[in-house]
Amino acid sequence: MSKPESSPAQDNVQITYEPDGTRVVTRTLHRAEGPPITITHRYPDALKHHYTPGAADEDVRLYSGGFLNGNGKYYTGNVSFTWRPSPRIQVAGTRELTADDYDDLFSDATTQTGIWSDIREVLVEQPDNLVPRQPDSISTTPKPSKTNYESIADRIVGEIGSSKADLDSLTFLIPNGWEAHDAAYICNPHNPAQYWSGRTTTGGDGWTVTFDRLQPMDAKAWTELRDSAGIRFTHVGHLARVDGSTFTSEQALQVLERIRIGLALALGRRTSCFLPVGYRNDKPVWALWQAYPVDPYTRVSSQWLDSQVASGQLADLLAKVLDFTAQEDRREALTHALAYYIPTNTGFDAALGVGLPISGLQLLSFFHFVTEGTISKRAWEAQNPNTEAEVRQLLTVMNVSTPVPGHFSNLAAVQARLNPQRDALGTIINMRNHIIHPVKGRPGRYTLQEWAEASILANYWLGLALLHLISYQGEIVATLGARVRHEGDERRSVPWAPPALGTTWSAGT
C-alpha cells in the first residue's frame, strides 16, 4: 500500500490506495477509556450531479446571465427549477426596449388562436459550448438604467447542446424516491469518512442504471417529507451503456421515460427523472430543463416494496421493466395500465377507484391472451361474454383465487346481500356495474367503507397483474393482512412463482 495521506478535514482519518487503485479510508476513534477503535472501508464516492439540489420545496438554481426567448429577444436574468405551485422551469429577466418594440405594437401580426399555448423555449449563453455551471446564487433581476425596459417572468423549457451529440454518460435527479436499508454503501467524496447505505444498481436492454440516495436524506428527513406530504430531490441517477459505447440524448430520454414507468410501478405513485445532464469525457455537453408531475411523498405508496430489502426489489423490477419496454407495443400497454393503477393508489373517489382497476385488468387480460397470445379477437369475444369473464381468465393464469378476505367485513356485507352470492371478483364487478352501467330503479347504494374495501382489493389485483406482465418473480410484502403492516413484516413470492418458491394464493394474501 502507498504512503498514508492525512485527510485535510479530520486528523484521525487516513487515505491510502491499494495497487489496483482502490481507495482505503481508515478512521481512528479515540475513547476516554479503552483502546482506540479503527474503522476501515473501501466504499465508492456518491454520485454527483451538475445541479446541487436543496431541501424540501427549495428551488434549484440553474442559470444566471443572458438568454434569448422564443421571439429572439435578449434578456438578462435567471433560470430556476421551482416546485410550487407545480414543478416547472421558471425564467425571470429584463431588457431595454427598442424602437422595433414600439413598431410591434402597431403591427398586423396575428395572435395565437385555440385553447393551447406553447411553453416558451430559451437559449442561454454557453461558454466553451458546455452546459453553464450552476450559479452560486440567484440575485434580484437587474433593471436597466433607463426607464423604458421590459420584465418577463415565464414558465419555459430549455435544451442546452445538440440532441444528436454523442454522450458517454448521463446524470439526473429523482424526487420523492424510496427508502432502502439494504442499499450498498457509498461515501461523501469531499469527506470519505462519511458513508451511508444508499446505492442501488440495475440495468436492462443494454443499459446500466445507478441510483444514489442523497446524504441529507436520513431517517429524520424521510419522516419530515412523509409527514408534510412534501416534495424534494432524494436520489441522483446515472445512466450509461453496458459496453461503454456512446449514445445520443434522444436515446437517453427514451430510456429515462422507461425508468419513469418502472419507478411508477415500484413506488405506486408518480415521480420522474429530472434535469438530465449528458457528459462526454466528463464534460457537461447537453442538458434538458423540463419538469414533470410528481406525487407527494405520503404513506400511501407502494404495495410491494419493503424498505428492509427495497434496493434488491427495485433493482429486479426495473431490470425487467427495461427489458420488457424495449418493444414499443409492450411499453404502451404497461403505460396505459399504470394510468388506471396510479390514480387509485394515490387517492381517488372510492367508487371510481373500483371502476379504474377493473378497466386496467380488462386491458391487461386482452393484451395477455390476444395481443401477445394466440387467441383471435373474435374468439376472445365469443369466449368471454362480459368483463368479469375476461378478468377472471387473467387472475386464473396468475394463480390468484378470489374469495372475499376474511377481514374485509364491509365487502363481505355486500357479498351477503347478493342473490345468488358471488366471490370477491363477482361482488366487485356487481358494484362496478352500478357506476359504469346505471339502470333506472336499481341504484347502487354502498357505504364509503364498502367502496373502499372493493377498491383496495381491485387495485391490489391490478398491481399484481402489472408485475405479472413484466414477469417479476421476486418477493413482495403482504399488504392485505388483517393487521397494520410494519416494515420488515412477512414477505412472500408472487402467486405465479414456481411451486418451490410460492404457495397457494387467495385474494386476502
Q: Are residues 201 and 280 in the same domain?
A: yes
Structural domain ending residue among the three candidates 264, 293, 326: 326
Count of domains for the chain: 3
What's the pLDDT at 443?
59
Angle of the 448-469 helix axis to the 328-346 helix axis, nearest 10: 160
Q: What is the pLDDT of residue 103?
A: 60
Residue 220: C-alpha distances to residues 58, 179, 215, 507 (Å): 17, 12, 12, 36
pLDDT in tens, 185-227: 999 999 999 999 999 999 999 999 999 999 999 999 999 999 9
Q: What is the pLDDT of residues 225-280, one digit of tens each?
A: 999 988 999 999 999 999 999 999 999 999 999 999 999 999 999 999 999 999 99
- Cell matching residue 345: 393508489
Model pLDDT for residues 412-463, shown as the tens digit of each residue: 999 999 989 999 999 999 999 888 877 766 656 899 999 999 999 999 999 9
Same domain, 387 and 441: yes
Identify whether residues 84 and 24 lie together within a single domain: no
Q: Is residue 163 in some structural domain?
A: yes
Last residue of a domain, one of 278, 294, 326: 326
Task: Give domain status of residue 92, yes or no.
Answer: yes
- Residues 446, 486: one domain? yes
Residues 476 and 337 in one domain: yes
Contact 277, 50 (CB under 8 A): yes
Residue 403 located in a structural domain? yes
> What is the residue type of 193?
A
Q: Which of 231, 302, 217 has its CA nearest to residue 86?
A: 231
Note the pLDDT tens digit of each residue in 442-456: 656 899 999 999 999
**Whether residue 12 is found in the same domain as residue 87:** no
Residue 504 inside a domain? The answer is no
Residue 256 within any structural domain of the chain: yes
Same domain, 61 and 37: no
In a domain, 451, yes or no: yes
pLDDT, tens digit, 9 for 90 and up, residues 122-142: 888 888 889 999 998 765 555
Q: Are 314 and 355 contained in the same domain?
A: no
Could you tell me which residue, 262 or 157, shows the higher pLDDT? Answer: 262
d(CA 123, CA 68): 5
78 within 8 A of 64, measured Cβ to Cβ: yes
Cα–Cα dist 345/333, whole Å: 19
Is 242 inside a domain boundary?
Answer: yes
Q: Which residue has the cell 402467486?
A: 495
CB 462 within 8 A of CB 360: yes
Cβ neighbours of 459 (radius 10 Å): 26
Split at pLDDT 50, 70, 90, the class of 99 is low
Residues 232 and 291 in one domain: yes
Location of C-alpha cell 413482495:
476
User: CA angle at residue 231 from 229 to 233, to 5 degrees?
Assistant: 145
DSSP of 202-238: EEETTEEEEEEE-TT--HHHHHHHHHTT---EEEEEE
| Same-domain status, 257 and 340 | no
Q: What are phi and psi of 494, to 5 degrees?
A: -65, 155
Task: Let me know whether 25 and 72 are in one domain.
Answer: no
Tell me, yes or no, whether 64 and 15 share the same domain.
no
Structural domain boundaries enclosing 447: 327-493
500 domain residue, yes or no: no
pTM (global) more than 0.85: yes
